Amino acid sequence: MIRFDNITKVFSDGTQALRNVSLTIPKEQLVVIIGPSGCGKTTLLKLINRLETPTSGEVYVEDKAISTIDPVELRKTIGYVIQRIGLFPHMTIERNAALVPNLKGWAKDKTTARIHELMKMVGLEPKQFLRKFPLELSGGQQQRIGVVRALAADPDIMLMDEPFSALDPISREQLQNEVKYLQEKIKKTIIFVTHDIDEALKIADMIVVMKDGKIEQVGTPTELIENPINNFVKNFIGIERINRKKSVGKRELQDFASFFEGERESNYIEVDASMLVEDAIALLENESTKGLLVKRNNKVLGFVNQSILLRAMLAKEEVL
């Protein structure tokens, strides 16, 4: 577990990057920190491995204040992947990947076995790639090696600072999938900074939305889509994206208007088109209610019963 306790960060030029931030990151979760440029997300990330130090407040890892830990020793226990990758061009891929295990004094056979295991996990055949140099690899392949190097010494925590933003869309999507797969296999605490909301919604267990050095909302992708806390979060995610990704139950009846029929049964209830599907289902579960007459601004859109609503929901799920 990582805990930020009332963190403030003011740089020497007077810029206040973080303002009284408190946050707990659960163990073995992939947590994405997102927000517009200059919101403080990368500064927050760098506090964890002491590349930045807070002006006030404290960061704890497993309830131990990291200000009491030697920075070099701390960084040996935390994986770090950045946008620029940072592989040493004069070293083979094998030597690049083995850097931290060698610093920690691992036996050669243990290091080799670990690197081979990780190479296979990220889709790179060890015999084909370990003797190559970074410049012989594509950008996507280099970034995969960056992930391997970060995980080689089996750290409990991995920091990823916009690691895929410089890649082409295909490589980026592949690496997003591989990070999700890796997390399912190895269960690390991963803190991932991005400015791409689609990336965040795709890979995160939990998302931290930031603005102007403060946290606006923390929640799962589903919680953010279905219950954005304010207009900033709603607009940052995007209204169209929210409507597209909402679960069917959280969508409004008016989204299904093309399925409504005109003929009414007896024992119907008049409802507004803004009613959520899950609320409509609850009404239709009452045996005395045969259907719903859906209106918008006093204009009848149509009639819906359980059968019609089920067909509409199934069709929408196929589209989404």
Q: Do domains 2-245 and 249-319 have the same CATH topology?
A: no
For residue 262, what pLDDT is reported?
Answer: 60
Q: Are 241 and 224 in contact (CB under 8 A)?
A: no
The ranges assigned to domains in the chain are: 2-245, 249-319
Residues of the chain with confidence (pLDDT) below 50: 318-320
- Looking at residue 263, what is its pLDDT? 61
CB 305 within 8 A of CB 263: no
Question: Would you say 78 and 159 are in contact if contact means Cβ atoms under 8 Å apart?
Answer: yes
Residues 6+ apart with CB under 8 A from 151: 79, 118, 158, 182, 186, 188
Q: Indicate the helix (H) or strand (E) that contains 124.
A: none
Rounded CA separation 229/214 (Å): 14
- d(C-alpha 308, C-alpha 119), whole Å: 51
Instruction: Provide CB contacts within 8 A for 210, sequence distance 6+.
Output: 33, 34, 35, 39, 40, 41, 44, 216
Q: CB neighbours of 279 closer than 8 A, spacing ≥ 6?
A: none
* End-to-end alpha carbon distance in the chain: 35
**pLDDT at residue 212, rounded to an integer:** 95
User: Of 186, 191, 163, 193, whose CA–CA distance to 25 is shortest?
Assistant: 191
CATH fold label, 2-245: Rossmann fold (3.40.50)
Report the CATH fold assignment for 249-319: CBS domain Like (3.90.1280)
User: pTM (2 decimals)?
Assistant: 0.76
Which tokens go with 319? 């589209």
Digit-coded pLDDT (tens) for 60-104: 999 999 999 999 999 988 999 887 767 899 999 999 999 989 988
